Amino acid sequence: MTKPVGIEKIGVYPCSLSLSMPDLCAARGHKPSDIRDVFMIDERSINPVWEDPVTMAVNASRTILDEADLGRIELLIVASESGVDQEKPMSTWIQRYLNLTPHCRNFEIKHACYGGTAGLQMAVSWLASGLSRDAKALVITTDQSRAHFGKPWEFVLGAGSAAILLSNQPRLVEFELGNNGYWTNEISDLTRPTLTVETGNSETSLISYMDALEGAYAHFLERVQPATDFDEYFTKNIYHTPFGGMAWRAHRALQRHWKTLSLAESWSHFEKKAAAALRYLRRMGSTYSSSTFIGLLTMLESSQDIGAGDRISMFSYGSGSCAEFYSVKACPEAGRLVQGNTIGSRLDARKRLTVQEYEAVEKRRTDLTEEGDYDAVDDSLDGWYDHHYKGSGLLVYRGMHDFYRQYDWS
């Protein structure tokens, strides 16, 4: 009999800086209500120059892993479209600073915002095969936006990392093996063609997202025949969230497969089934591949009506493109176990930047992109490093020395 496979723990690192959307709207001459009500974003997370996707990944993982976990992780997959080196995988730094066993297969994958789900499904397959011999897998998603001053999509950017511990002893959700639908289509919607450029056609990307959702869900229905009643089959629904408003559009599209609802009825259904997943994402902005896992953790924490065995649908989309629609089942103690997470307090502890400070941070990061020797840690932002990092035991990026990245504990 195949052992169950699922998620034991999810850890999130929401960064240490924030930017208020009303402040950014005032600086850009934009209506705050559009961002709050249409895009469903209130704040966005930002990294100081002394943090990067490596530090975020390690700091997210350290919120959940104990010594017993560290000794049993034999597969580490890091998903990111914000890679810091054109050759060396971030996963090796992460393996080192988490002090994982050397008998650990590790690699980095890139597939836009689908990368985390791709890594997750590879880890699930390995665990389900029985070849893991009761070892565990760690999948980490970690990304940060680049500078987009004055662009229409500047409001939906963000940063963050999620660490997902998987094993044959799931405590949060169990995967329904084989209950997957997937869809792929080559399209050049969004791209990062150089070390400093992040560009594309946002309208094309939104259309591709919706096409991928329809295609992946149709494939899911072909493979999972009992799942014809979307409303009854799933207790809750999680969607890839480049911004909250996209999850609302996605949910409304899938509603049409089972019933015609008025706009008010549709919104009420969204609030009941999916909106709770956006609680922290509204404060972080786009978290790229992390959004579905942050949404899942938030949903389990926020919803009192999720019982053992209840199904939760998960939808992941990545530009380029590939998408997957799959289902998980809530474990008996999931709601209780996630109550102790620290996302809310960490979000509250961020330093709120002025628009001028935000622009200065992003400009300095861009200016240093191809520099080979520099110190990243300084006394900027009113001594934020000394106030928030010094002595806290967080991993920080110290800078470059002869083009080699330097990391250390704060």
Q: Could you list the active site residues?
A: 81, 113, 240
Amino acid identity, residue 152? P
Helix (H) or strand (E) holding 395: strand 395-401
Tokens of 301: 């924490």
Contact between 177 and 5 under an 8 Å Cβ cutoff? The reply is yes
Nearest to 141 by CA among 49, 225, 79: 79
Contact between 175 and 156 under an 8 Å Cβ cutoff? The reply is no
Helix (H) or strand (E) holding 335: helix 334-337
- Please give the DSSP secondary-structure letter assigned to residue 275: G
Length of the chain: 410
Alpha helices, DSSP H only, in 224-288?
Answer: 230-233, 244-255, 263-273, 281-284
Region for residue 49 given its phi and psi (left: phi exceeds 0; alpha: psi -120 to 50; beta: otherwise):
alpha
Region for residue 130 given its phi and psi (left: phi exceeds 0; alpha: psi -120 to 50; beta: otherwise):
left
Amino acid identity, residue 163? A
Region for residue 152 given its phi and psi (left: phi exceeds 0; alpha: psi -120 to 50; beta: otherwise):
alpha
